Amino acid sequence: MSAFAYRNGVMHAESVPLSKIAAEVGTPFYCYSTAALEAHYSAYAGAFAGQDADVCYAVKANSNLAVIRAFARLGAGADVVSGGEMRRALAGGIPAGKIIFSGVGKTREEMRAALEAGIHQINVESIPEVEALSEVAVSLGVTAPIAFRVNPDVDAKTHAKIATGKKENKFGVDYDHAREVYAQAAKLPGIKPVAIAVHIGSQLTDLAPFRAAYERVAALLHVLREDGHDITRLDLGGGLGIVYKHEAPPDIADYAAMVKSITGNLGCRISLEPGRSLVGNAGILVSRVIYLKQGLHRRFVIIDAAMNDLIRPTLYEAYHGIVPVIEPAKGAATEPYDVVGPVCESGDTFALQRALPAMARDELVAILSAGAYGAVMSSTYNTRPLIPEVLVNGDRFSVIRPRVSVEELLALDRVPDWLKD
Ligand code: LLP
């Protein structure tokens, strides 16, 4: 579904005109739709209804407490990758028993916090890590339920920076060594291997790599059970892609059917860790045109959002749709524009030679599909304070993170006494 559409000539988020939000909170700002968040979650829950499956929202995609809360209310679990994200998930109302802690480099402090909270599962990625976890668990007098994240050496066919399932990637334990790694871990005090985890990458638009990875996991499950491990859960990771432009990602129902065909008879509880597919198309970034500038060969639209606010185009050459908030006349002519931000880097570019209707100074534009890996990856580079996040629900909207002021930013710095004279 798209919660963002033109109505009476103005792009709305659900029933709220974006121009109204812009007038109240200023630009740029992120805007999310509650209806879209709920619809995307329900699509997962519905597709997996017949399976013993938990949807553990990958909080990294958008960790605003209100977003987490919206999913928590629907019964979601969470996949977290830091002590900070775990605290967000708990603060958002996700019970510890539904939280999975993933990530390649957990510190002992994070392990302690996770075990003290009593979380569902810790996904470990190496022998040194499981040894550390064992020590922490013993010191607390508890047993840590773990999965190893296995690296199945499958090509996810996605952007190299977000592919994680090839053997040259830093993630997981090598598939071929998984058996001995489980054997070693099972001997450690305070450790109980209960699951196998896999996550091969993000923005996958084809089912085949998922299927290949899950078949390898199923084969490993049989081997581990023969070795006497009581494995009762499979964590299948996230990664389902969304439409940014003309992609045709698999339907969630087809994905669920594929999962069932592989895992249906294994007697395992399934965890899913979707991030992008829950929030990506539930959010946009609204920005204002500051200037139009005619270069020698190019026409630039300089907007008030920049790479520090949304880094995906700069980092991954990612495509994001860009549309005017005021609906252009039907059949209006388009011109090629480079849409850029004010940051002092050539990489601060949202789109190159993008066909847009004639742009005007001060007009609002919406950068689409920005709900995932948008606000969470922002920085204050160029001393540009973090921008607000707004959540719409029907005809209401709330600021779920206010704009940070320059004063607040400066107040974080300390000038030592010895520099003050
Ligand atoms: N589980 C694990 C262990 C992960 O590492 C990730 C994402 C997910 C689940 C969620 O994947 P999703 O369903 O969102 O694809 N910043 C990049 C994406 C990085 C993804 C990292 N891991 C981007 O903007 O495209």
Q: What mean pLDDT, rounded, does the chain reach?
A: 97
Question: Could you say which of 31, 56, 268, 344 is catalytic?
Answer: 344
Q: Is the CB of 271 under 6 A from ligand 1?
A: no
pLDDT tens, residue by residue, 316-366: 999 999 999 999 999 999 999 999 999 999 999 999 999 999 999 999 999
Residues written for the chain: 421
pLDDT tens, residue by residue, 18-58: 999 999 999 999 999 999 999 999 999 999 999 999 999 99
* 312 assigned binding-site residue: yes
- Write down the pLDDT at residue 1: 54
Interface TM-score (ipTM) > 0.95 = yes
Yes or no: say if 286 and 28 are a contact pair by the CB < 8 Å rule.
yes
Domain boundaries, the chain: 4-32+280-410, 33-279
The stretch 400-405 carries a mean pLDDT of: 98
pLDDT tens, residue by residue, 129-158: 999 999 999 999 999 999 999 999 998 888
* 354 assigned binding-site residue: no
Q: Catalytic: 31? A: no
pLDDT tens, residue by residue, 91-144: 999 999 999 999 999 999 999 999 999 999 999 999 999 999 999 999 999 999
Pocket probe mutation, ligand 1, options 198, 202, 236, max atoms within 8 Å of Cβ: 202
What predicted TM-score, i.e. pTM, was given to this entire model?
A: 0.97
Rg of the Cα trace of the chain?
23
The stretch 180-186 carries a mean pLDDT of: 97
The stretch 199-213 carries a mean pLDDT of: 96
Closest residue (by CA) to atom 23 of ligand 1?
373
Evaluate whether the domain defined by 4-32+280-410 bears CATH number 3.40.1130.10.
Answer: no
Q: Is the CB of 239 under 6 A from ligand 1?
A: yes
- Write down the pLDDT at residue 168: 81
Distances (CA, A) of 417 to 264, 407, 414, 420: 65, 20, 9, 5
pLDDT tens, residue by residue, 155-176: 888 888 888 887 888 888 999 9
Q: Is the CB of 199 under 6 A from ligand 1?
A: yes
Domain covering 33-279: architecture: Alpha-Beta Barrel (3.20)
From the CA of 119, how far away is ligand 1's center (Å)? Answer: 20
Q: What is the 3-state secondary structure (H, E, C) of the chain?
A: CCCEEEECCEEEECCEEHHHHHHHHCCCEEEEEHHHHHHHHHHHHHHCCCCCEEEEEEHHHCCCHHHHHHHHCCCCEEEECCHHHHHHHHHCCCCHHHEEECCCCCCHHHHHHHHHHCCCEEEECCHHHHHHHHHHHHHHCCCEEEEEEEECCCCCCCCHHHECCCCCCCCCEEHHHHHHHHHHHHCCCCEEEEEEECCCECCECCHHHHHHHHHHHHHHHHHHHHCCCCCCEEECCCCECCCCCCCCCCCHHHHHHHHHHHHCCCCCEEEECCCHHHHHHHEEEEEEEEEEEECCCCEEEEECCCCCCCCHHHHHCCCCCEEECECCCCCCCEEEEEEECCCCCCCCEEEEEEEEECCCCCCEEEECCCCCCCHHHCCCHHHCCCCCEEEEECCEEEEEECCCCHHHHHCCCCCCHHHCC
* 239 assigned binding-site residue: yes
